[in-house]
A and B are shown apart, each in its own frame.
Chain A
Amino acid sequence: MIDAVKLHLQGIKSALAVRMAYRADFFISILIMLVVEAFVPLVTYLVYKNGASLPGWNMYEALLVQGVFLLSKGISFPFFFGMVWNTIYRVQEGTFDLLLIKPRSVLQMIIVTGFDSEDLGKLLGGIVLFSVSLAHVPFPSLDLWLKFAVLFFVSLVVMFGFGLILSGLGIVWIGNYRVYEIFTSISNFGMYPANIFSKAVVTFITAVIPVAMLGYIPASQLLGRPAEGTLIAVISSIIFLIVSLLFWKAMFRRYNSAGG
């Protein structure tokens, strides 16, 4: 375990060193990332400022959902979601093989060598949005914080599952960077309170592909009004992770037997 942590830290150090080689580009990229991610919260702000609202949610509660979503992306994107681009790039370039001659799990190697420092902008944005929203809602009790922590961890599990599916697709769909759009279009459902969607959509985003776990469910918990179907969403998140892992392994086996 310590060994794995050491390896991850070294991977982060190397990736940061690579990005720091072009300092201006590094800071500009982070800034751009921050601006891009601020778009949806900005729209939410404008909607509320113009008198409209999401039924049953005040502006800061709605922004809290988006803050949690951004925080979840802010942790997963730099630290493990880079496996998606890393896989697509390496398979296309033919350097995926180099990971297979290292005495580590291939998945670990893709994550270690795929640290994406630019996405630290998302983390920064997530922290700011989460903190600002939290300052305008009643401060949660310790009990709520603990429940939130568990659900937030599950949101990272869902993110990891998505990373596995997209990375697996990257192994077989050579050079197809469009896979990310699949993730964006589905995951964005997690940015809004679920009660604005139809019953069928709510069932889909909690019990089938649990994207509600990415923002709505943990934020609801923190606000002290747990979302309906939270337990189902937790179970389906774990199933989602297992299925994603099996999918990734199946795609990897295809690479092994075909040679890329």
Chain B
Amino acid sequence: MIINVENLKKTYKSYERGNTLGEAVKSLFIRKTKLVEAVKGISFSIDKGELVGFLGPNGAGKSTTLKVLTGILFPTSGKVDILGYTPWKDRKKYVAHIGAVFGQKSQLLWDIPPLDAFNLNKAIYSIPDREFNKKLNLMVELLEVQNIVKKPTRLLSLGERMKCEFIMAMLHSPEIVFLDEPTIGLDVIAKEKIREFILEMNKQGVTFILTTHDLGDIEQLAKRVIVINHGEMIFDDTIEALKSHLGNKKLVSISTQDPLPVLEISGVSVKNKLSDYNAELELDANIMELNRFIDYINKNSTIKDMTLQELPIEEVIKKLYTI
């Protein structure tokens, strides 16, 4: 186990300013303070080589948790042990072993080529020349950015920049890498390349913690998912367990020869009634078994075509967030 978090809590003091001019002027002199419990006692542990997805709606406490884990923030209470360090106490020593990619905060330097920014990181982490060149060449090849690293960053596309952000974060061979929405705004091809890169690095033993709103990232990368909502951990298991978390639900698309019978029955909910003969339904197989459902339809009509799908992860997450 390389990450161990016990009962982590973080409470912020926030100020209410109001939205009218009068309230804004008043807030210059008297400010109402409000305590915000961003994280309310989270505990989990992560083993070396895991690739864990961190999910949660905006304001759930994901970023705060990530900031504590990267040593940026002091928690209000709780214990965090990562690679034997307490991030906020041993920050300087600890961060030498971690990397981070923030989809919305660039570590590159806008007007000069990524290569110059890599060289700055080389000096910051005191990476020896040979090791630096070896690692750089390897990653440049893996991400196919040979012709890009010498161009000014401002001339690069978002996808190209993000690939360089990954190089920047991994030049010092970190053991753990924190990714905060690393594929935000990227096209399908760039996303695919970055996901391949993450998987390759993970194969080589790097532990990844990934926060994202892109469930494609989660489905393709994470084996384990932690869901946070309202500052509390509401789920921690495999992606398969996540899919079946809300019951054995299927998405059914059905076409019949005769008009469909009444569908407002227990275990079935109509998602989209396209016509009297076609409909998309959500079937809870724990309440209405599949063969009973087929019998019911066939008894009242005749099935012409039917497709059955797992409930998309988006649906599962949406339901989980509203719990």
As a 0/1 sequence over residues 109 to 127 of chain B, the CB contacts with chain A under 8 angstroms (1 = contact) are 1111000110110111110
- Can you list 8 contacts pairing A with B, beta carbon distance less than 8 Å? A11-B120, A13-B119, A14-B120, A18-B109, A21-B152, A101-B70, A102-B125, A103-B124
Please state if A10 and B123 are interface contacts (CB–CB under 8 Å).
Answer: yes
Name the segment of B93-101, B133-141, B285-293, B304-312 touching the other chain.
B93-101
Given contacts A6-B123, A14-B112, A101-B100, 20 further A-B pairs with CB under 8 A are A9-B123, A10-B122, A11-B120, A14-B117, A17-B111, A18-B111, A18-B112, A94-B105, A95-B105, A97-B67, A97-B105, A98-B105, A102-B124, A109-B124, A112-B124, A256-B72, A257-B74, A259-B12, A259-B64, A259-B72
Number of interface residues of B (CB under 8 A): 35
CB–CB B95/A102 < 8 A: yes
Q: Does B71 sit at the interface, judged by CB under 8 A?
A: yes
Instruction: Say if the beta carbon of A43 comes within 8 Å of chain B.
Output: no
Q: Does B107 contact A (CB under 8 A)?
A: yes
B125 touches A103 (CB 8 A): yes
B88 at the interface (CB under 8 A from A): yes
Give A14's nearest chain B residue, CB to CB: B120
Residues of B within 8 A of A103 (CB): 92-93, 95-96, 124-125
User: Which of these, B91, B100, B119, B125, contacts A14 with CB under 8 Å?
Assistant: B119
Assembly CA distance A98 to B121 (angstroms): 12
* B111 in contact with A22 (CB, 8 Å): yes
Q: Are B124 and A104 in contact (CB under 8 A)?
A: yes
Q: What residues of chain A have their CB less than 8 Å away from a CB belonging to chain B?
A: 3, 6-7, 9-11, 13-14, 17-18, 21-22, 94-95, 97-98, 100-105, 109, 112, 256-259
Name the B residues within 8 Å of A9 (CB-CB): 123
In the docked arrangement, what's the CA distance between A244 and B98, Å? Answer: 31
Q: Are B119 and A10 in contact (CB under 8 A)?
A: yes
**B88 interface neighbour in A13, A105, A256, Cβ under 8 Å:** A256
Are A101's CB and B117's CB within 8 A?
A: no
Are the CB atoms of B105 and A258 closer together than 8 Å?
Answer: no
* Set of chain A residues within 8 Å of B12, measured between Cβ atoms: 258-259
Judge whether A14 and B116 touch: CB under 8 Å: yes
Tell me if A257 and B73 are in contact (CB < 8 A).
yes
Min CB distance A21 to B, Å, is 4
Ranked 3 nearest A-B pairs via Cβ: A10-B123, A103-B96, A21-B111
